[in-house]
Chain A
Amino acid sequence: MPRLVAAAGALAVTLTAGLATPLDPAPRRAEAAPAEKVLTVAVAQSVDSLSPFLAVRLVSTSILRLTYEYLTDYDPADARPVPGLATDWAPSADKLTWTYTIRSDATWSDGQKVTAQDAAWTFDKLMTDEAAATANGSFVSNFRKVTAPSPTKLVIELKKPQATMTALDVPIVPRHVWEKVTDFSAFNNDKTFPIVGDGPFVLTDYRPDSYVRLKANKTFWRGAPKFDELVFKYYKDQDAAVAALRKGEVSFVAGSPSLTPAQAASLKGEKNVRVNDAPGRRFYALATNPGARARNGEKFGDGDPSLLDRRVRHALFMAVDRKTLVDKVFQGHAVEGQGYLPPRFSSYFWQPSASQELTHDPARAAELLDRAGYRKNADGKRVGKDGKPLNYRVLCHATDPNDKAVGQYLEEWWGELGIGMRLDCLDNVTDPWLAGEYDLAFDGWSVNPDPDFVLSIHTCAALPGTPKDTGATDNFICDRTYDNLYTRQLAEYDSAERATLVKQAESRLYDLGYMNVMAYPNAVEAYRTDQIASITTMPEAAGNIYGQDGYWSWWSAVPADDSGSSGGGGSTGVVIGVVAGVVVLAGAGLFLARRRRATADDRE
């Protein structure tokens, strides 16, 4: 009997706890006037920082892109540079001085005018304060001096010519606010709201892993957004996010990194839901540890020495059947991997020639391994000259189902070659990664319209200064030929010439075999058409919505006429919850009462 009472008590406690959560948002919703058009986006990735000087994650940079304008933006149609804060820009004849004209019709959300001084101060801070250079330092490493001779004129002097001057993805911050910050490494910009900005939205509220709330900036120079409010709401479970979309609680789900094929297939048949399946801007690769080292020459980490042999690296990748991965793991929601940059960026897209392509060929892979001196022993395992069998650790993200799925294929493909493998799935891969304690790793980056950044992370200059430092490097690649090509493309102002050099760099990277691109995953996302009437994708023809190179999607989103009803779903849910809770409690009470009567009868 006491046990039953305790159980009922526990039940009551859980019920009230369960009720507390759905009831909680209700009063907050009441604050908003009924006419407010709210666009709710389900996200899963945690915000690392709201400081534009520190944030590197996709969710944070996307949000900052909405709140701080950059010098230039990318056209949603073809990603060419279009005016942002700067209306006009031109290099000098010697290619070393760039002059930007800053628009005079932009204001900060606290009413002050946006001037060239703000931009100059931002760049200057990046150049002079190492803590401020954490996220965007790479953009200014070649700057000699930044000045603002007038409120509408910004002059940047360079040490060497730099082709990325119209692709400076640096949020310009208000000087009068940020001047007061003393320690940039500790300031996360999340204490005082609203955060002063000049983008299409103003950040008004944030609670970690709960929500990020933004209000439309009605005085935005390009025109006010159509929605009044934009809320990024956290759903750590993707199934929950999809269910919320089905019920209309959220207007948009991007998934992390995208919806699964099964979810996309089931949402396709849903009324009022559109699934956007577009070529993505990411590549999905298998990175090989080239022997981690620092700029000072010190080696660290414990990558398998056999991977230093290019034949071994090529053999490993030749055993990978990329077509099967696209077919089975991505179920067609991806494009087979080739060069480093995705085909979406057509001017820089490079394909290996027939003679250099590492096609799926297990027989040749075995031959390469034999030649490299790794022959099969009696147990069918490949052993090196020291008699130790080849056994690799593959670092995988525990949060990414694709990593685990692809890992299982790799284990079997490499198993047939006689190579052992262990899948190390971790929630936090950063620590072993930075320490160089892995053999191979699943890797992926979102590529910007200007490929400079994703190319720069494979240069020797990106290596950490000492083993204790954190470098910008992706996986410790350092190759002279590649570095040379990288430097040349950065200094080339002719876009066709530059594309040729970028392709040569990609070719070199491909031949090195340290970065093996397996696929370019599509962006698979879904939104409610009864809440969002139209939204701009990027590229406009067939592109993604979440994580664009710009604020086009949320800025352009047009609310559907009846989106006002979207608030109803939540309160209905609460009502249902309360009713269900009462019913369950009543049922439990009834059950208890009957039990009590039964025992009383027994006693008599």
Chain B
Amino acid sequence: MSTEAARRGPRALARQRRRRSAARFWQQYRTHRAGLLGLAALVLFALVALTAPLTVGSGVSDVTDAPGRPLEAPSGRFPLGTDRFGRDLLGLVVWGSRVSLLVGLLAAVLSVAIGAVVGISAGHFRGAYGTVLMRITDWFLVMPTLVLAIALATVMSRSLGTVVLAIGVTSWPTTARLVRAQTLAVESRPYIERARALGGGHWHVMTRHVLPNVMPLVLAQTTLMVSSSILAEATLAFLGLGDPTVVSWGGLLQDAREAGAVSAGDWWYLVPPGIAIALVALAFTLCGRAVESVLNPRLGVTR
């Protein structure tokens, strides 16, 4: 064993170890049928979003050369009907997936990043710093997220960045709490004490020992957070707090509401974006649950 290690070097060994654990992960993930279903749906949505410039093109959101009459019912030419400007709704739903997915992903990453930093540092520095940080977290936890996000989105200018920021900075406390708990558990293990005795500083302990151990948790949390971020984006856009010139699923719902499609019974304006939001959120949740149970078997039985 030791000769083999000497021959191949520590980096190659690490790579090999990672490859093996990835394979093991995939093997276990495969056993979760719901997780596979979610993953398939996600791949499909990602493909649709990424190929949208080729399939529908950015011209689909142009109001000046909209191809149809306003609010046409579904027909052969427009499978999902047209919106209030006469634009093709199928194209808009496909085009809108880009913004919804992008904002959902960015906001989730931002939220989890904030949560991880706060959680790890609060778990590591347990004195006054950790206490203050946790009280701030508690404060954010009890604040109604949506109200806070609305307040933020209102005071800042209306753009995608604002929405990402509004969702990101309001939804991190759960992650922070989870990560802190895991950090505390990791830091009480003997090898951390050994690392300290060998001269490992705060930075070394946090990045080399704690971070790799909380990473699975963070990963699972990110996947789960994406679905709630997509929902939050749709909510904000529906409440009219998004950029009105950008096509997103929530924005389409808001357009439909403003055009009076709800009381007029123009279902084709409301249903497709609504179903798309529900499907993507479901897909991310299914994936997240599967990842969570693979990485953290102690969670118990999963269905």
Contact = CB atoms under 8 A, between A and B. Distances in A.
Interface of A: 238-239, 242-243, 246, 259-263, 265-266, 324, 328, 331, 398, 401, 404-405, 407-409, 411-413, 423-425, 427
A261 B70 contact: yes
A424 B85 contact: no
Main secondary structure of the interface of A (DSSP, over half): helix
Given A239-B257, A262-B84, A413 B262 contact: no
Given A409-B63, A425-B244, 19 more contacts: A242-B260, A260-B258, A260-B260, A261-B260, A263-B263, A265-B264, A328-B70, A328-B86, A331-B70, A401-B259, A405-B63, A408-B63, A408-B85, A408-B244, A409-B64, A411-B245, A412-B64, A424-B157, A425-B240
B138 interface: no
13 contacts: A239-B262, A239-B263, A243-B263, A260-B258, A260-B264, A261-B71, A262-B260, A328-B66, A405-B84, A405-B85, A409-B63, A412-B63, A424-B158
Interface residues of B, number: 26
Interface string B259-273: 111111110000000
Interface string B70-105: 110000000000001110000000000000000000
Contacts of A246: 263
Nearest to A266: B264
Nearest to B85: A328
B62 interface: yes
A534 to B, nearest CB: 26
A260 B259 contact: yes
B260 A259 contact: yes
Given A261-B70, A331-B70, A424-B158, A408 B260 contact: no
A425 B254 CA distance: 14
Contacts of A331: 70
A129 B244 CA distance: 44
Given A262-B259, A328-B85, A413 B244 contact: no
A263 B245 contact: no
Interface of B: 62-64, 66, 70-71, 84-86, 154, 157-158, 240, 243-245, 257-266
Contacts of B265: 266
A425 B264 contact: no
Contacts of A324: 64
Nearest to B265: A266
Q: Give the one of A243, A401, A412 with max B CB within 10 A.
A: A401
B240 A398 contact: yes
A409 B245 CA distance: 10
B162 to A, nearest CB: 13
A263 B264 contact: yes
B224 to A, nearest CB: 16
Contacts of A412: 62-64
Contact of A407 (B66, B245, B259, B262): B245
Contacts of B64: 324, 409, 412-413
A1 to B, nearest CB: 14
Give the interface centre of A242, A243, A324, A328 by most chain B CB atoms within 10 Å. Answer: A328
Nearest to A408: B63
A248 to B, nearest CB: 15
Contacts of A409: 63-64
A297 to B, nearest CB: 32
Nearest to A396: B244
Contacts of A238: 260, 263
B270 to A, nearest CB: 11
A266 B66 contact: no
A28 B71 CA distance: 41
B150 to A, nearest CB: 11
A427 B241 CA distance: 10
Contacts of B86: 328
A401 B264 contact: no
A226 B242 CA distance: 47
B257 to A, nearest CB: 7
